[in-house]
Structure 1
Amino acid sequence: MFVRPSLSCLVSALLALPLAAAAAPDDAAAPDAAVSTPEIWLNVGGFSRHFDRSNRYNERNFGFGIEWRTSEQFAFMAGVYDNSLGKHSQYAAVNWQPWSLGPVKLGAAIGVMNGYPSLKRGGTFFAALPMASIEGRRFGINLGIIPSMKNVDGAFMLQFKLRVN
């Protein structure tokens, strides 16, 4: 029997990751400049632009998300949104961005999500996508690329975010 996790389960798992990382020995941690105060960012979903324009996808993917940046390289993300198929999706991920090009942080978001009928019948699956972020004092953006695969039409993804602390 497959049990679909609720958003509260996904958020709880996401919040447990930093605690586990904090419990790791200091010598096991990779060198990473910690931000002076963890940054909390909110978003209201985002927009997508699909590579295959012949399908009529929902490209206004509104919802709610939170991002907790604990260092220059790591942010923990969770949220809900209306996906490109008009279904509700939930996600929890780690945004690992070890490279930068000027103000642009580059890396990948790796985590779990659900709500796509062609993948695990809408259930939870692992996902990874290249992610770039630009963050100012109060406003930022995340830009991701969803790769085209067997059951997935690829797209560009854009999120606008607001820092609340």
Structure 2
Amino acid sequence: MKILPFLWGCLFFVTTGANAQSQDSPHHLWINLGTYTHHFQQNRNLNNENTGFGLEWTYNEMYSLTGGIFKNSENQTSHYLGLYVTPIQVASARLGVVVGGFDGYPNAFNGNWFPALLPVAKFEGKKWGLNVTYIPTLPNRLYGGVSFQIKYAIY
């Protein structure tokens, strides 16, 4: 199965309902089952399907807290904690950064926690959402790519 057409379909599905988000409360609790990462280094044997479990709690339009666990690109277990800051609204997207930390990458700080500041675009409907994150390549430490995370609002 070609993954990019699937992801574009998901983006369309999510964004068509983005303006229908409930105005009753700015708070939402999202659940995700990991991400799909399109890596820039296609010649490597990297894990693109980063399965896992994560939660994202939306405080308001601009701020969300996130955390979780997943199987990273090097098939190692990683954990993450972060804060989404998305002050810019463009059509149905919220643009900004996620600041936080990761662990589990053997070449990045021997697998220990390290800080991250990553550009992100968030598309959120009433029940479904999509986070698209750019991951820069850090030579000899981290493989870069674009990550697609589908999420579902459970509250």
User: Number of paired residues?
Assistant: 132
Q: What is the percent sequence identity of the aligned residues?
A: 31
CA-based RMSD: 1.3
How far did residue 115 of structure 1 move? 0.2
Q: Superposed, which structure 2 residues align to 1:15-164 within 5 Å?
A: 36-150=25-139, 151-164=141-154
Name the SS for the 1:71 alignment partner. coil
Contact 2:105 2:142 in 1 (8 A): no
Give the ranges of 4+ consecutive aligned residues of structure 1 lying more than 6 Å apart after TM superposition. Answer: none
Distance 1:99 1:35, change over 3 A: farther
Q: Which runs of 5+ in 2 are unaligned?
A: 1-22
User: Match for 1:163: what amino acid?
Assistant: A
Q: Which runs of 5+ in 1 are unaligned?
A: 1-33
Report the TM-score, using the length of structure 2 for normalisation: 0.82
Q: What is the CA deviation profile of residues 23-53 of structure 1, one whole-angstrom value per residue up to 9, with x for unaligned ones?
A: xxxxxxxxxxx98241100000010010011
Distance 1:87 1:152 in 2: 13
Q: 1:69 Cα deviation (Å)?
A: 0.4
Distance, in Å, in 1 between the alignment partners of 2:41 and 2:61 is: 34
Alignment correspondent of 1:20: none
Structure label with greater radius of gyration: 1
Change (3 A) 1:35 1:65: farther
Report the TM-score, using the length of structure 1 for normalisation.
Answer: 0.77
Structure with bigger RCO (C-alpha 8 Å, 6+ apart): 2
Q: What does residue 4 of structure 2 align with? A: none
Cα separation, 1, equivalents of 2:24 and 2:33: 24
